[in-house]
Amino acid sequence: MTGLIFSLTVVAFQLGSSQYSPRLLQTFATDRVVQLTLAQLTATFVYALTVLRTVRTEGATETETAFVPRLSITVAYALTLGSVLAVVLFLGHLARALRVETMLRDVHEEAGATLDRELPDDLGRPGPVRLLSGPGMPIESTSSGFVVDLDEERLVSAVADADVVVLLAARIGDSVVTGTPLAHAWARDGVRVPDTAALQEALGRSVRLDFERSPARDVAYSLRKVVDITVRALSPGINDPTTAVHALSHASALLGDLVRRPLGPDCHADDEGVVRVVVPQWTPGDLVDLVLEEPLHYSSGQPAVLRRIAALLREVAWRAPRGVVDDALRDRLRHVVDLAAESTRITAPERRSWEEALDSALTGVWPAHRPG
């Protein structure tokens, strides 16, 4: 049974990777049901072997009599029955987990948890960041990978000791290559040259790089997964516009949650209130591009997908604070309208209705649709 579960898990990994997105394997591998099932089967196997070593027959040795640990065998029997039940439950869970709707739901919940940790609603919108004059001294990275975590307190302490201000060159989730600038530093007096070696060592200890992105602090990673599912569904090899429409619905909800939160540079000050470390953040325009740039490229000739993108733009316009993403949404809608006119038979009145609906949503108006 243990071998069967391992085999089914590998098959699930292959299906999820090839049909939806390789990045979904990270979510599936952390599934508690998968982990608990494998743990129970392995523990039962090891326990049974351990108990088997204590069983003795009359002829086993010259000095010992027959011995059968009845209680231990009863426990092993109960664990075996539990393992059979776990296999049955695991098969049902696996059938549900391989559905794209379940995968999208899991990614959506993962994103919600990350947003609540990193961008709480009560954080307040950040003000403009004023750095010192000059281009800043580049601090090169000593390793390559994706930025997955940052020890702000340690970095602020090191930067305060050097009496400089540091601006990271990469957001959490961005890729960094060895030898390229990981940050820029400015001396507060504007004259002294920062000690780049000490700052490089401090950054190496405080900024954690890994070979893959992590949803722990990366607010855009889950959105990237949803976009991957959308693009894969629109590929000629799969050609599943219904899945793309479903994924775009999740993308709309996640994008709306993001643009209404306090996006902007994350500033960290020392004990005296002096800003020492500035961490760049995703801007609303960047997030709109992340969600729509690739789906629009592959949605030519897909009227259902284009209609859903137009609805997505309207939904985000309704949820976003006024003036935050207005220009980006209008620009993307023009692209959608042009693409619909060139590649589909969507009528001009319907395309005009998309523009009118977006303009109304941007002004806080959502007209009721009266049937008949």
pLDDT at 262: 82
pLDDT at 208: 94
How many whole angstroms separate alpha carbon 181 and alpha carbon 19?
37
Largest CA distance in the chain: 97
Name the phi and psi angles at 252, rounded to 5: -65, -45
How many whole angstroms separate alpha carbon 268 and alpha carbon 263?
15
Q: Tell the residue number behind the tokens 């789906």, with chain if given.
A: 295
User: pTM for this structure?
Assistant: 0.82
Name the phi and psi angles at 154, rounded to 5: -65, -45
pLDDT at 343: 93
3-state secondary structure 11-63: HHHHHHHHHCCCCHHHHHHCCHHHHHHHHHHHHHHHHHHHHHCCCECCCCCCC
How many whole angstroms separate alpha carbon 93 and alpha carbon 21?
20
pLDDT at 106: 87
pLDDT at 177: 95
Domain spanning 137-210: CATH 3.40.50.300: no
How many whole angstroms separate alpha carbon 367 and alpha carbon 369?
6
Contact 233, 227 (CB under 8 A): no
Quick one: which of 322, 315, 335 has its CA closest to 254? Answer: 315
How many whole angstroms separate alpha carbon 105 and alpha carbon 111?
10
User: What count of Cα atoms within 13 Å lies in the side-chain half-sphere of residue 275?
Assistant: 16
* Other CB atoms within 10 A of residue 331 CB: 15
Q: pLDDT in tens for each of the 372 residues of the chain?
A: 777 777 777 777 777 667 777 777 777 777 788 888 888 988 999 999 888 888 877 665 566 677 778 888 899 999 999 988 988 888 888 778 778 888 889 889 999 999 998 888 655 555 556 666 778 889 999 999 999 999 999 999 999 888 889 999 999 999 999 999 999 998 877 666 678 888 899 999 999 999 999 989 999 999 999 999 999 999 888 888 999 999 999 999 999 999 988 888 888 888 888 888 999 999 999 999 999 999 999 999 999 999 999 999 999 999 999 888 999 999 999 999 999 999 999 999 999 999 999 999 999 999 887 776
- Give me the residue spans of the domains in the chain: 2-98, 137-210, 221-267+282-362
pLDDT at 372: 62
How many whole angstroms separate alpha carbon 168 and alpha carbon 267?
11
Quick one: which of 222, 217, 296, 228 has its CA closest to 254? Answer: 222
Instruction: Give the SS3 label for residue 76.
Output: helix
